Structure formats: structure tokens, C-alpha cells
Amino acid sequence: MFHYIMRRVLIMIPTLIVISAVIFTIIKLPPGDYLSSYIETLRQSHEAVDEQKIAFLRAQFHLDEPAWKQYLYWVSGFIRGDLGYSALYDLPVSQVVGDKLLLTFIVSFSTIVFTWIVAFPIGVYSATHQYSLSDYGLTLLGFLGLATPNFLLALVLLYFANVHFGISIGGLMDPQYLDKPWTIAKGVSVLKHLWIPVLVIGAAGTAGMIRRLRANLLDELQKQYFVTARAKGLSPFRALIKYPLRMSLNPFIADIGALLPHVISGAAVVSVVLSLPTTGPMLLDALRSQDMYLAGSFLMFMAALTVVGVFLSDLALAWLDPRIRLEGGVTR
């Protein structure tokens, strides 16, 4: 076990190095750099191009130096924990990201909780009442949520919320609470705005979870031990919860690894449409203007979280399922 853990931790390092190289290359791929897109935006709006500011930015972000040097500057920064300076926002990256992290976390966490709360009972019900009318009905609902374009659903809900409930359009709170300290009123305002993104992003996620839980549970429900338990007189509900449900939880624990970066990044498209102050739109803007430090550092942050998250979920899985502990890692 110890060897397994050590090996996993050591492999993380080359993985992250390769990821950083890939991120850097892809962000640098489009012709031009942050400055060229900045200059063209100025020209398009007929504003004067301040030569002095351009020269200053060029030096600040080492854009006049060869690509490999820029890569080294960037890597040496975030290894030390210095995420760098964002050209787009004119602020240190940690400040830009840190500001949005709390709200991103709130949205994503609520979405995940919502997805689980909705999908779990539906999945179990679908499995136990296989091929019934309600099974088909609930599955249809789940698939509708998956098939409807997120942004369309978001816009429709936005409209209804504004017209019927008077909720302000977009954002996560009423304008008067922006940048003010947290109070009950501010919390209530956030809740009022929160249900739309949670509903929209969650709707897509529930379908997948419902089907997976249903499939896994159905497999378990056919097995001998469950039939024996029922035959021995164990109540159906208790028998279900104590044995097959636990067996079918494996995919969910494995998913936790992928959850961490998801929580941080937030669904980008829906956030853009709803104008949420989360990290999704920030990343999108950074990528579009080739802001190397903001986009690259943030992506590395997410990559690190993914790698660590997957590792943790593997550990959790090993703890949960003795079969993995005893058999896995031995078979080559």
C-alpha cells in the first residue's frame, strides 16, 4: 500500500510537467500575443495606441523574449507559488482568481449537492421499479435536461425569474450588495439568484447519474446474495440499502476525483450567459486574449487539483472496496 501511494505521488510530478508544457504550447499557438489583441481592440474602437504603455507591457511580460524563456519564467513563478501578473486585469493572478473562488465554490457545490439529491432517489426508484411508467417518465425528464441546450434553458429561466419574481437579470446578487460584507440580506439575495444556475447546470448532470446508478443497481439486484436476503425475510428497503446500494456506489466515489477541478472551474458557458462572477468566464476571457499568466496559471492550478483529486478518490475507493485493496495493485 505504501509503495502504491509513493509511486502515485512520484508519478504526479512528470505528469504535471507535461501538462504545463501542453498548456503553454496551446495558449501560445494562435498567432500574436496578448499585446497584439490589445492593440487591435484599441484600433477597432479608434482609440489611440499608447506606444509607451505597449513598450512597458512588452517588457513586463517578457513578450520580446523567445518562447522557451517565457515558459521558464512562467514555470519558475508558479513553482514558488507566485502565480504571476494578469495582463488582462492589470492585477496579480492570485487576486483575480481568489476573488471569484468563493462564489464559484458556492455555485458548484450547490450544483453538485442538487445533482446528487435529485439523481440518487430517482436512480434507486428507477432500478427498483424497472420498466414501470414512472421509470420511463423520470428517465425522460432526465434526458430532457441533458438534451436542452444549457444556455437556452438559462435564458428562459432568467426571463421568467425577472418577469414573475422580479429577480435582477444575471449576476449572483442584487447590485446593491456587490462588494459589501456578507449579511443575511446578501445571503438571501444570493440564494434567490443561485437557483437558476444550479437548476440549469444540475439538470444536465442528473441524467448521467440516474442512468449509471440505475444500471449498477440493476446488476446488483440480479445477484444471488440479494435474492437470498429477500428470501430470508429481510425487508426490501433494508436489504436494498445495506447491500446492493453500497456495491453500486463505486463509480460515484471514483467521480470525486473529477469533481474538484469541476468545482473550481464552474460551467463556463452558462456562467457567461448568466453573467456570473465566477472563474469560468474569467478563464474564457483570459484564453481569448492570450493572457498567459492568468490562463496558464489557472489551468495549472486546475490540473494540480485534478491530479491530487484523482489520487484521493483512488485512495477512497481502495478504502471503500476491499476487493480493490486486496486484488488491485497486485495484478499486473
Partner 1 sequence: MRKLLPLLAAICLAAPPAAVLGEELELKETPGLEEAVKDGTLPPVTERVPTAPLVVRPTEPGTPGGTLRLLMASAKDTRMMVVYGYTRLVTYTPDYKVVPDIAQSVDVENDRIFTFHLRPGHKWSDGHPFTAEDFRYWFEDVASNKKLYTAGLPEQMMVDGKGPAFEVIDSETVRYTWAKPNPMFLPALAGPDPLYIYAPMHYMRQFNAKYTDEKTLDELVKQNHVRNWAAMHTKLFHPYHTDNPDLPVLDPWVLKTKPPAEQFVFERNPYFHRVDPAGRQLPYIDKVALVIADSKIIPAKTGAGETDLQARYLRFDNYTFLKDAEDHNDYTVRLWRTAPGAQLALYPNLNVTDAAWRRLNRDVRFRRALSLAIDRHEINQAIYYGLAVEGQNTVLTESPLYDPAYRTAWASYDPKQASRLLDEIGLTKRDASGIRLLPDGQPLEIVIENAGESTEQSDVLELIRDTWAEVGIHLFSKPSQLDIWRRRVYSGATMMSVDKGVEDGLVSADMPPDDFVPTTQAQVQWPMWGQYLETKGKSGEAVDIPDVQELQKLYKAWFAAKDSDERAEVWRKILKIHADDVFSIGLIAGVPQPVVVSNKLHNVPQEGIFNWVPGAFFGYYHMDTFWLTPDGSNQASTASPKG
Helices of type H across 129-183: 133-147, 150-165
Question: How far is C-alpha 253 from the geometric centre of its chain's CA atoms?
Answer: 16
Stretch binding partner 1 (CB under 8 A), from 21-29, 93-101, 119-127, 305-313: 93-101
Q: How far is CA 248 from CA 147, 220, 221, 271, in A?
A: 26, 7, 10, 33
CB of 178 to partner 1, least distance (A): 4
- Interface segment toward partner 1; rule CB under 8 A; list 34-42, 135-143, 198-206, 296-304: 34-42
Segment 217-223 long-range contacts (CB within 8 Å, at least 24 positions apart): 217/123, 217/124, 217/127, 217/128, 217/244, 217/245, 217/248, 218/127, 218/130, 219/248, 220/244, 220/245, 220/247, 220/248, 221/127, 221/128
State the binding string over 225-244 for partner 1 (x if CB under 8 A, else -). Answer: --------------------
Q: Angle 284-271-138 (CA atoms, 0-180°, nearest 5)? A: 130
Q: Looking at 88-96, 125-133, 187-195, 324-332, which segment touches partner 1 (CB under 8 A)? A: 88-96
Residue 81 interacting with partner 1 (CB under 8 A): no
SS3 63: coil
Q: Determine the residue type at 104.
A: T
Q: Applying CB under 8 A, does 69 fall inside the site for partner 1?
A: no
Q: Please identify which residue in 16, 91, 234, 320 interacts with partner 1, judged by CB under 8 A.
A: 91
For the bound state, the minimum distance from the C-beta of residue 216 to partner 1, rounded and expressed in Å, comes to 40
Asked if 85 is part of the footprint of partner 1 (rule: CB under 8 A), the reply reads yes
The least distance separating partner 1 from the CB of residue 266, rounded to whole angstroms, comes to: 14
- Which residue ranges make up the site for partner 1 (CB under 8 A)? 30-32, 36-37, 39-41, 43-48, 51-53, 55-56, 59-60, 85, 89-92, 95-96, 99, 158, 162, 168-171, 175, 178-179, 272-275, 277, 281, 288
